[in-house]
Every structure is written in structure tokens, then in C-alpha cells.
Amino acid sequence: MKKLITGTIFALAANCSFSAGFGLYEASARGNALGGALVGKTGDATANYYNPANLTESTNVSVSVGMTFINPFCDVKVDGRPQQKMNPGWFVAPNMYFTVPLPYNFALGWGSYSEFGLGTKYGRNWDLAGDTLETTMKQYTFNPNMAWKPFEWWSVGAGIRMSYIQFENFKQPHNGESFYYDAYHMVLPQYANAYKLKSHLKGDDWDFGYDLATSFKVATNVTLGVVYRSRIRHNIKGDFNLRGHVNTPLGKVNQHYDTHAGAKLTLPQSITFGGNWDVTDRFRLGTAITWTEWSSVNTIRFRIPRYGYSEPLKWRNAWRFGLGGEYDLLNWMAVRASYVYDRDPCNNGTTMLPAGDRHILGLGTGFKLTENLRLDLGYNLVMMLDSDRTIGLTDMAGNTEKHKFSARNSFSHLVSASLSYSF
């Protein structure tokens, strides 16, 4: 039993790394359609996310609520063998913002949104079920902000980021292996596919970070902005359990193991630069460039009683470039489009999300329903470059077998909607 649990925990720690580029940038329908290019000038309550310094733009109490539906999928091969398509279904990333102007050029704001997340689901008994079957990571940020405009051309902002994270993973440890007799270090091939097990790891945590922001006008129709977001060091705590049975020469042996578990994860710091240009009264352009210190996610430390393990990830820092445009087609209707290039920071192999640099195309529209009410809709197509990764699975004998994991035709559909109201 000890050998089985040790092997299972080692397999979990060795492969249960968070996926490449688990950052989320989908904070509003209008922002999605513009590729996040609202850093210099935002114009509504979503400034709480895009640049808290821009809260001083609001002259009225304003509110915005919305959500983004995300569906990632891809074709998968393992060692050249086609597998069932990876498709976990649709995930929802909600968002809500409000801002209140205050005397003396101050403004107060609140935002709730998701900065990080991932989701994958593979077919039961696929060739790498020992690495993962299903994985979800959900993160929500609750973010009060304060902004001040000391001069007509300059604003500053700061806020607290309260982060809640939840992680869950299912897998089938030692899937497809023959029985291993520990006492004599023997593999018994006559007992093929002996391990009928399923493990479940689940945990959550609250922690805190902060943001600092500024924006300034360099010309009447040109504004620039910078936003810094700090690291957040999560200490995730939860439970690990193992269920199933093993077919042995003495018959079927049931397995039942429960224990507390934990993991330490540092969410990376980032800096976003951006500018907005009102080309005409009806036509606007913007850009957003984000540098993320993914190298801070250098190790995942798993804490499971008697079987703790640390897994080095060796991720690299990465850049994200976005360009968006908006045109008022009618007095009550705007159209938007964008392009984003998002670098993949991952060096280590993982099946939790198809890796690869991403090209993102965005389209959207906004409708002025009344003088104070606006509806925004957006659609983004995420195209991930084909990728090949080496996945190592450690068997009961302690040997690590390398497998080639190939992701092809990797896409994500993002559909978003927001309602904004100014009182």
C-alpha cells in the first residue's frame, strides 16, 4: 500500500503542474473586442480592471456587469496515436464593476473578475490518463480601488486585490500498467492493466496583492497608461483521496486512501503599458502591451503527509501585445475589432492545457439602448500554434517513461456580453 501511494503521489506531483499561460484577460465584452486596449483611456467602470487611474474619467456613478463564456478544444495524439478530442465544455468568467466620483478629483471603484484559470477534460482511459483526466482552476479577484487626479493631465490609482483560488484534478494513476510485485521488484505481465484507480485532489485559498496605476495625456486626443499588478502567494489547502482496486495474484485488492494536501503557488506580477488615440470624434485606436513574470511560477510545492514533493517548472517571462480599434457606425452603434499576440511561457510538458503561442482575433459591437444604458457584445477566436510536448509518467517500479503529447487544431471560442449603466 505504501509503495502504491508513494508512486501515485509522485506521479501527481511530477505532472500536476499548472498549464502554460493560465492568465485570463477577458474582463469585459468591450475590452475583449478591443484586445484589452483600454489602458490609456477607458471611459466606464471597467477602468477598475484596465487602469484604475482612469476611474477619474467618470463624472457619474456607473455600473457594469457581464460575463465571458470560454470553450477551449484541440485534437490530441499520444506517441502518434489519435485520442478523443480534448473539450471540457464551456467555462464562465463573470465580471462586475462600479465607480463613484468623489470631491476634490477623487474616485472610488470596485471590480470583481478572473485573472487566472484553466480547464481541460480528456476521454476516459486515454493514453495519458495517468497524467490527468480533468483539471480545473478557478480564480476570482475582488478589487477595491481609489484614484486621484492632481492635474487635468495626470491621474493615479491604487487598489487591493483579494484573490480566491480553487484547484481540482482527477486522474487514473498507473493506468494501463501491469502489476508490480514490490517485494521482489518484479513486473507480472500476466496481470496487465492491473490498476483500476482514480485520484482526486481539491483545494482552495484566499490571499492578497495590490495594483498601482497611472494615466496621463500627452496631447488633447492621446492618453497613455501604466498598470502594475503585484505577485500573490497562495498557500492552497485541501484534500487528496484515492479510490479503486488492484488486480493481484491474490485477487482483487481494494484501495481507499484519504489525507489532507496542499500546494504553494505564486501568481505572477505583471506590468501593462497602453495608449489610446482618438483619431476622430467617431474613430478610436488603442494598444496594450503586458509583461508577465511567469518565471516566478518556478516551482509547485505539493504537501501531502509523508509524500511531499516539489516540481520545478522553469517557466520563462512572456509578453502579450494587443491592438484594437472602435468606430461609431451610428450614433447608437459602435463596431470593434482587435488582434492579440500572446507568447507561451511554458518550458515543461503538461497536458492540462494545450501549449503554444496564441493569435487572438476579436470582433464586437456596442449598442446605446438609452441615454444611460449600453449593451456590449464580443467574440474572440483564440488560435494556438501546434505544439509537441514530452510527458513523463513514472510507473510503480519507479521508472519514468517518456511520451510525445501532440496538440493540433487548438482553438478557444470566447463569447462575451456586458451591460453598463451611468446614473
Helix (H) or strand (E) holding 280: none
pLDDT single digits (tens) 142-176: 999 999 999 999 999 999 999 999 989 898 988 88
* Residue boundaries of the structural domains of the chain: 2-422
Q: Is the pLDDT of residue 54 over 60?
A: yes
pLDDT single digits (tens) 55-73: 999 999 999 999 999 988 8
Q: Is the pLDDT of residue 312 over 90?
A: no
Structure confidence at residue 32 as a pLDDT band (50, 70, 90) = very high
Quick check: 19 and 365 in contact, CB under 8 A?
A: no
Structure confidence at residue 313 as a pLDDT band (50, 70, 90) = low
Q: Look up residue 280 and give its three cell numbers.
A: 476622430
Q: What is the mean pLDDT of residues 168-197?
A: 86
Kindly report the average pLDDT of the chain as a whole number.
Answer: 88
- What is the structure's pLDDT at 19? 35
Half-sphere exposure of 81 (CA within 13 A, CB side): 7
Q: Look up residue 321 and give its three cell numbers.
A: 501585445
Q: Look up residue 144 and give its three cell numbers.
A: 477595491
Which of 110-119, 342-351, 354-363 is the least confident region? 342-351
- What is the pTM assigned to this prediction? 0.89
Cα(405)–Cα(409) distance, rounded to whole angstroms? 14
Cα(184)–Cα(120) distance, rounded to whole angstroms? 38
pLDDT single digits (tens) 227-250: 999 999 999 999 989 899 999 888
Cα(174)–Cα(3) distance, rounded to whole angstroms? 12
- What is the structure's pLDDT at 11? 45
Q: Which of 158, 140, 138 is nearest to 148 (CA)?
A: 158
Q: Is the pLDDT of residue 213 over 90?
A: yes
Q: Which CATH number fits domain 2-422: 3.40.50.2300, 3.40.640.10, 2.40.160.60, 3.90.870.10?
A: 2.40.160.60
User: Residues near 285 by Cβ (< 8 Å), separated by ≥ 6?
Assistant: 37, 276, 277, 279, 323, 324, 325, 326
- What is the structure's pLDDT at 16? 37
- What is the structure's pLDDT at 383? 93
Q: Is the pLDDT of residue 99 over 50?
A: yes
Structure confidence at residue 355 as a pLDDT band (50, 70, 90) = low
- What is the structure's pLDDT at 84? 82
Structure confidence at residue 185 as a pLDDT band (50, 70, 90) = confident
- What is the structure's pLDDT at 13? 44
125 vs 344, which has greater pLDDT?
Answer: 344
pLDDT single digits (tens) 5-25: 544 544 444 343 333 358 899
Structure confidence at residue 307 as a pLDDT band (50, 70, 90) = low
Q: What is the mean pLDDT of residues 119-141?
A: 85
Quick check: 82 and 103 in contact, CB under 8 A?
A: no
Query: DSSP code of 52?
Result: G
Query: DSSP code of 23?
Result: B
Q: Is the pLDDT of residue 4 over 80?
A: no
pLDDT single digits (tens) 215-228: 999 999 999 999 99
User: Residues near 306 by Cβ (< 8 Å), separated by ≥ 6?
Assistant: none
pLDDT single digits (tens) 272-305: 999 999 999 999 999 999 999 998 877 667 777 7
